[in-house]
């Protein structure tokens, strides 16, 4: 089936014509969400007055990349902003996670939705951010580190084999399902040329299985959001209908209405965020509820003995007492609330604090510097910050030891001072030439 014909059959000719014209001739959209721990909305708006608030998502902004290329600014390097499509922010907005929730993002890479959820949850509660692809999970973990988030467990687990251990465990579940990606077609001609009905059918089979897994792990009374970046009914309404046929007790949630939303006739509780109506590249969202009464998790207070007590001085110095601080594979992690990861293949358990050698602190981690606010840092000049981002050393009149350095109120990372010289510990993969903006 031709892509345009499929749009006309799905949305009707008038809507399809407007949509296709936007895909073919519209300008790419750009958006970001602020990390309120690092920059306030007031400060951001004062510095970038042409950025426009997102119509729904708090702390999120729309912008013109020709005016502000945020991916090249220090705000990005320092984890003060997360760049994400404006429509792709909406599934988490509809899911509305809170500080009390335990949330599963089952197909999370590259991590934008998990980071958005973490911001909405104010770095409390627990998020299990998973991707079955280990390389994609590594990229996800790097984004979590850059943003300095402290309530995310990053995992690369096939829940086909481990979902039974997490049955009824999560208050909220996001299934942002792998799909044909047709909403990305104006970014990729190659993706458009690969459109085939056979691929849609294959995707739909996997999407239904992911929905079933996510629903199994949802608590009674919990909410599941299903989303794709596909225009195709086969991957959206049809998937939900087939899922409901096998799990009839699941309840559809009627999402809020807005003139910028498109309501599919076959599933009026769901919405399409079409780029001819809604600023963004597009998204389909449908929310489901599992019948029952939602019971909040009992908070398990962190242990005061064992590993945490041995490193109490370090934890006190960085304000980490009261969090769950644990050792995994000779690495020390800190998370807001303890979570059993015995059936997860984890890459990150909250904030990585340091690596160990012979039971001693060997090297403080960049994630810790990204997590903390600048009150734990030494301010440095623009020239020193430019040298730091490049990976160079510079002079620093401090006693020998590790220090966090910051510029303009943003932590950059660790240095190790030896005889008045600050040796750079900025991760090599992040180093670049920076023009000071």
Which of 368, 384, 409 represents a domain boundary (last residue)?
368
For the chain, which residues score pLDDT lower than 70?
1, 188-194, 300-308, 359-360
Task: Judge if 115 and 200 occupy the same domain.
Answer: yes
Q: 61, 32 in Cβ contact below 8 A? A: yes
Task: Judge if 17 and 163 occupy the same domain.
Answer: yes
Q: Is the whole model's pTM more than 0.85, yes or no?
A: yes
Task: Judge if 57 and 197 occupy the same domain.
Answer: yes
Instruction: Tell me if 295 is assigned to some domain.
Output: no
> The domain spanning residue 267 has which CATH number?
3.40.50.150
Instruction: Tell me if 436 is assigned to some domain.
Output: no
Q: What is the pLDDT of residues 204-229, one digit of tens each?
A: 899 999 999 999 999 999 999 999 99
Catalytic position from the list 179, 229, 286, 287: 229
**Domain containing residue 104:** 3-289
Task: Judge if 199 and 328 occupy the same domain.
Answer: no
The domain total for the chain is: 3
Task: Judge if 217 and 263 occupy the same domain.
Answer: yes
Q: Tell me if residue 229 is catalytic.
A: yes
Task: Judge if 60 and 28 occupy the same domain.
Answer: yes
Task: Judge if 327 and 217 occupy the same domain.
Answer: no
């Amino acid at each position: 089936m031709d892509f345009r014909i499929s749009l006309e059959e799905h949305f009707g000719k008038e809507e399809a014509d407007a949509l296709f014209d936007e895909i073919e001739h519209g300008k790419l959209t750009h958006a970001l969400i602020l990390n309120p721990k690092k920059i306030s909305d007031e400060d951001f708006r004062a510095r970038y007055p042409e950025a426009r608030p997102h119509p729904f998502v708090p702390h999120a902004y729309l912008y013109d990349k020709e005016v502000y290329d945020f991916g090249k600014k220090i705000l990005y390097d320092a984890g003060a902003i997360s760049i994400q499509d404006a429509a792709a922010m909406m599934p988490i907005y509809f899911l509305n996670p809170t500080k009390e929730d335990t949330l599963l993002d089952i197909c999370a890479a590259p991590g934008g939705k998990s980071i958005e959820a973490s911001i909405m949850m104010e770095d409390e509660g627990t998020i299990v951010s998973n991707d079955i692809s280990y390389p994609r999970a590594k990229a996800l973990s790097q984004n979590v580190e850059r943003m300095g988030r402290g309530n995310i467990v990053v995992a690369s687990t096939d829940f086909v084999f481990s979902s039974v251990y997490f049955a009824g465990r999560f208050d909220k579940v996001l299934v942002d399902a792998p799909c044909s990606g047709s909403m990305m077609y104006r970014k990729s001609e190659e993706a458009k040329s690969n459109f085939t009905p056979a691929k849609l059918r294959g995707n739909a089979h996997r999407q239904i299985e992911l929905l079933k897994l996510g629903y199994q792990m949802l608590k009674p009374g919990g909410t599941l959001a299903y989303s794709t970046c596909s225009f195709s009914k086969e991957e959206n309404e049809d998937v939900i209908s087939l899922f409901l046929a096998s799990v009839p007790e699941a309840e559809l949630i009627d999402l809020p209405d807005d003139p910028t939303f498109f309501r599919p006739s076959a599933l009026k509780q769901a919405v399409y965020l079409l780029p001819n109506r809604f600023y963004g590249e597009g998204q389909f969202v449908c929310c489901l509820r599992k019948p029952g009464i939602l019971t909040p998790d009992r908070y398990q207070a962190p242990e005061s003995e064992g590993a945490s007590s041995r490193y109490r001085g370090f934890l006190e110095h960085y304000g980490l007492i009261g969090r769950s601080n644990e050792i995994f594979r000779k690495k020390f992690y800190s998370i807001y609330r303890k979570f059993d990861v015995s059936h997860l293949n984890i890459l990150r358990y909250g904030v990585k604090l340091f690596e160990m050698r012979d039971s001693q602190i060997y090297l403080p981690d960049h994630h810790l510097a990204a997590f903390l606010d600048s009150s734990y840092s030494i301010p440095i000049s623009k020239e020193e910050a430019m040298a730091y981002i490049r990976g160079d050393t510079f002079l620093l009149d401090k006693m020998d030891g590790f220090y966090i350095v910051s510029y303009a109120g943003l932590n950059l990372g660790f240095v190790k001072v030896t005889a008045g010289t600050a040796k750079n510990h900025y991760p090599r993969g992040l180093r670049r030439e920076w023009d000071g903006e």
